[in-house]
Amino acid sequence: MISNLQKSAWAQLTGKLDRLPHAMLLHGPAGVGKLALAERFAQLLLCENRGQGATPCGACEGCRWFLAGNHPDARIVEPAIVALARPGSVAEEGEEESSSEKKKPSTEIRINEVRALAGFVNVKSHRGSLRVAIIHPAEDMTVQAANALLKSLEEPPPGAVFLLVSHRPARLLPTIRSRCVPVPVPLPEPKAAAAWLAAQRVKSPERWLAFAGGAPLRALDYATGERGQAFERILRAIAAGDRGALGEVKGREELEPLAEVLQKMALDRAFAALAGRTRYGGSAIAGDARAWLAYAREMGRNRVLTSHPLNPKLFAAEMVSGMPKD
């Protein structure tokens, strides 16, 4: 369970049960379990048997409804594209999307979704307890949506609790941050994270954890998902020094994994030159630090561009051709 990996953050959350703030901001790197913590804390708040305990019972009606994703006093608001990629989450209440929106899921949290949330927190609890709203990732709100949420945070309805989850809290409005109690969620200890991955039957957990920058949930996704297969092919080509194979992509969906691997490889080469060690488990061969850092920045920009309608083979070839010489 992710709360066992993030004991300090979980202790901070449960330590606020006696004087529960109306809004909390769980922030930290992506893939460290912030959303899982927010959902488990929401379950705890809605648990009907928790008493003074610090864990949800898992057996009451509140827990069962929450785990089934249909608790009437829980809502999660997130971009449509995130919700589609995360099955089994808490059910979101909002307006039905048009056929054009269904074809292209939104990458932002829009104002109509936040307005629907305002309607939810301003009605009486169905179970006579709290109403809990999770916003994830909070930085993906449009400006209009953020301003709409700010109104609820400035004048919070009685019995409403907002749990904001953010990978990049600096992108939130300062007025929103100032109205939330911050709860930092750091990278867990490497040994504990590797043991957790091993318990999930991940092969070579240390390797994947290093590649994920120490984030266990991201490492799990890399090791078990389709993205991991693309990484394996790219990493084999890098190990073999086969630049031609690096540029062999079958479609646009392989461009972003390629850019990510190239970016992390470049950073490792620069780290090796500057600090004598690597971060992502790549080659410890040192290179020209300035050249590799410049290439890493370029790959960071390319990771954004991979969602654009570009010719995948030409774009892949361009990324590989710009790689500094060893």
Summarize the confidence of residues 4-20 as an average pLDDT: 91
Residue 162 sits in the same domain as residue 244: no
Tens digit of each residue's pLDDT (9 = 90 or more) over 16-73: 988 999 999 999 999 999 999 999 999 999 999 876 568 899 999 999 999 999 999 9
Can you give the pLDDT at residue 100?
Answer: 43
Q: How many domains does the chain have?
A: 2
**Region of poorest pLDDT, from 91-95, 191-195, 212-216, 292-296:** 91-95
Provide the domain limits for residue 35: 2-184
In a domain, 198, yes or no: no
Ranking 127-136, 181-190, 199-208, 240-249 by mean pLDDT, the lowest is: 240-249
Q: What is the pLDDT averaged over residues 228-249?
A: 85
User: Is residue 292 in a domain?
Assistant: yes
Task: Give me the sign of the Cα torsion angle 5, 211, 231, 295.
Answer: positive
Structure tokens at 38: 């927010």
Q: What pLDDT is recorded for position 235?
A: 85
Average pLDDT value over all residues in the chain: 88
Q: Are residues 132 and 81 both part of a single domain? A: yes
- Structural domain includes residue 29: yes
Q: Are 165 and 26 in contact, with CB atoms under 8 Å apart? A: yes
Same structural domain, 53 and 162: yes
Percent of the chain at pLDDT above 70?
92
Same domain, 147 and 231: no
Residues 14 and 149 occupy one common structural domain: yes
Classify residue 212: in a domain, yes or no. no
Give CA separation, 100 vs 79, 103, 135, 294, in Å: 15, 5, 24, 39
Q: Quick check: is 296 in a domain? A: yes
295 and 241 in one domain? Answer: yes
Considering the domain architecture, whether residues 111 and 258 belong to the same structural domain is answered as no
Residue 112 lies in a domain: yes
Domain match, 21 and 100 both: yes
**Per residue in 253-279, pLDDT tens?**
889 999 999 999 999 999 999 988 888
Assess whether 37 and 145 both reside in one domain.
Answer: yes
The answer to the question of residue 168 being in a domain is yes
Residues 157 and 275 in one domain: no
Please, what is the angle between helix 216-224 and helix 226-240, to 10°?
A: 80
Same domain (yes/no): 156, 250: no
CA distances from 97 to 80, 100, 115, 271, 277 (A): 10, 8, 15, 46, 49
SS3 of the chain: the string is: CHHHHCHHHHHHHHCCCCCCCCEEEEECCCCCCHHHHHHHHHHHHHCCCCCCCCCCCCCCHHHHHHHHCCCCCEEEECCHHHHHHCCCCCCCCCCCCCHHHHHCCCCCECHHHHHHHHHHHCCCCCCCCCEEEEECCHHHECHHHHHHHHHHHHCCCCCEEEEEEECCHHHCCHHHHCCCEEEECCCCCHHHHHHHHHHCCCCCHHHHHHHCCCCHHHHHHHHHCHHHHHHHHHHHHHHHCCHHHHCCCCCHHHHHHHHHHHHHHHHHHHHHHHHCCCCCCCCCCCCCHHHHHHHHHHHHHHHHHCCCCCCHHHHHHHHHHCCCCC
Last residue of a domain, one of 184, 211, 235: 184
Q: Using the 3D structure, point to which of 152, 184, 216 is the last residue of a domain.
A: 184
Give the tens place of pLDDT for each residue, 134-175: 999 999 999 999 999 999 999 999 999 999 999 999 999 999
Assess whether 136 and 55 both reside in one domain. Answer: yes
CATH code where residue 37 lies: 3.40.50.300
Does residue 202 lie in a domain region?
no
Question: At residue 90, does pLDDT exceed 50?
Answer: no
